[in-house]
Copies of this chain bind each other. A is one copy, B any other.
C-alpha cells in the first residue's frame, strides 16, 4: 500500500471523509476486541457490551433510544432495508424477537412515494420494486431542489405506505422540510423515511423533532469507517429484515456485528457532537469565501441548490462552456479533489439526475462541479482553490468552440 502523494486539498467530503484521529485511535484499540457479540462466553459478552455502548452513543446523537437503532453495512443498505419492508410478503420473513419494529401489518398500503433527487440507492431500489409490481410515485422539485408540500398532499392517497425523502441532498446540499413532510405523511396514515446520510453530523438531527419513522445514516461521511451505517426504526412500525438469517440487531439484520466499524462509528459520532457546532460556523464562513471568490473571479457561473435551506458544506456550481470532468481533472493535477456529483453515480456519462430534476439543461448539468468541505478544510485551502480555478475555467472555456460567454443562467444562491 503506497500512501505517498504530493500535498493535496481534499474538497470532496460528501463522497467520503478521512477517519477522525480519535476514530483511528479507537479502532486501533478495538482491534483487540475480537469476540463475536453473539457468543455467550466472556469474549462475546465483552464485544456485545461494547457494541451496545456504541449503539447508545449513536442513538442518543439523533435523539433516539438505542433499542430503536440498528447497525447496517452502509447507508445504502439502510435505505434498501426501509424500501424493501413494504414489499415483504409476510410472516415467513420475520426473524428474531425484535422489541420494536416488529414485522407488522402494512395494511395493503404498498405504494411508495419518493423524490426525483434521491440517492441512486433509493431510486434504483424504487425502480426495481416498481418492476416487481410496487407502485412508486415521484415528487418533483423546484429549481432549487425543494419538494412541494401541495404535491406531496396530492400524492398521499390511501394506498401509500411509505414516503422516502432525503433530508440534505448529496449533490446540491438542499435541505427539505422533513418535519412538515412527516406531519402531512402521518395525517394520511403513511410512514416517513428520511435518508439523512448527508445531514447527520453536519446539522442537528433529532428523530422526534423531525417526526420521522425511519432515518438512515452512514459513518464514513462523518469521519468514521466505511462499511457501517445505521437505521433508526420507530417503535411500532412494520419491519422485515433485509439481510436475513440471524438474530443479530434484535432479529433485524443477520450477520456477525462489525464491532470494529461500529465502535469507529460511535467514536465518529461522539466527535461530531463535540465539534459540529463550531465547525458549522467555520464552514459557513468558508462557504462565503468560496462563493464570493468564485463570483468575483469567474464570469457566468450558476450556483445550484437552495439559496437559504442548505447544508453549508456543499457548494455545487455550474460553469457553462466547461465540462465538469475536465475541471475535475485539471484541479486534480493541481492537487485539489472535487467531484462532478455523487461518487455513487460516477462512472456514468449521464448528466446528474439531481440537476436535471431542478430543470437544469443537460449542458449546464455537465458543466457542474461539487465542492464539499469538512472539518479539515481551511481558509488557505479555499484560497488555493480560488487561485487555481479561474485560469482552469478560462482554459477549458477557451478550448470549447461552443462557448460564447454571457450570464444567461444567472440564478445565484
Residues on A lying within 8 angstroms of B by beta carbon are 1-3, 5, 8, 10, 12, 15-19, 24, 26-36, 38-44, 46, 50, 73-77, 79-80, 89-93, 95, 119-125, 127-128, 130-133, 218, 220, 225-228, 243-248, 254-261, 263, 325, 328-329, 331-332, 335, 337-340, 343-348
Contacts and interface: CB of A to CB of B under 8 A. Distances in A.
Nearest to A267: B1
Kindly report how many copies of this chain are found in the complex they form together: 2
Given A34-B17, A131-B90, A245-B122, A256 B226 contact: yes
B328 A40 contact: yes
Nearest to A80: B243
Given A1-B26, A38-B343, A121 B80 contact: no
Contacts of A123: 245
Given A41-B338, A73-B227, 15 more contacts: A8-B42, A15-B39, A27-B27, A28-B28, A38-B343, A73-B258, A74-B255, A75-B255, A89-B131, A93-B131, A95-B124, A121-B244, A121-B255, A228-B258, A254-B344
Nearest to A335: B42
Contact of A244 (B38, B89, B128, B130): B128
**Residue among A27, A73, A128, A245 with most chain B CB within 10 A:** A245
B254 A80 contact: yes
A389 B215 CA distance: 48
16 contacts: A1-B33, A10-B43, A38-B344, A39-B343, A40-B325, A41-B328, A44-B343, A73-B227, A80-B244, A93-B128, A123-B245, A124-B245, A124-B246, A125-B244, A226-B256, A258-B261
A274 to B, nearest CB: 18
A335 B44 CA distance: 13
Contacts of A227: 73, 227-228, 256-258, 260-261
A411 to B, nearest CB: 27
A163 to B, nearest CB: 18
Closest 7 CB pairs of A and B: A92-B131, A227-B258, A121-B245, A73-B73, A74-B255, A124-B245, A76-B255
A40 B326 CA distance: 11
A254 B39 contact: no
A273 to B, nearest CB: 18
Given A93-B131, A124-B254, A226-B259, A76 B243 contact: yes
Contacts of A40: 325, 328-329, 332, 339-340, 346
Contacts of A259: 226
A120 B254 contact: yes
A36 B8 contact: no
A43 B344 contact: no
Given A120-B254, A124-B254, A225-B260, A31 B19 contact: yes
Nearest to A72: B73
Nearest to A37: B343
A73 B34 CA distance: 17
Contacts of A331: 41
B41 A246 contact: no
Contacts of A325: 40
B76 A38 contact: no
A92 B130 contact: yes
B3 A131 contact: no
Nearest to A262: B227
Contacts of A24: 31
Contacts of A120: 245-246, 254
**Residue among A15, A124, A263 with most chain B CB within 10 A:** A124
Contact of A12 (B19, B36, B124, B345): B36
A254 to B, nearest CB: 4
Given A77-B243, A124-B254, A247-B348, A36 B19 contact: no
A139 to B, nearest CB: 18
Contact of A128 (B73, B92, B226, B338): B92
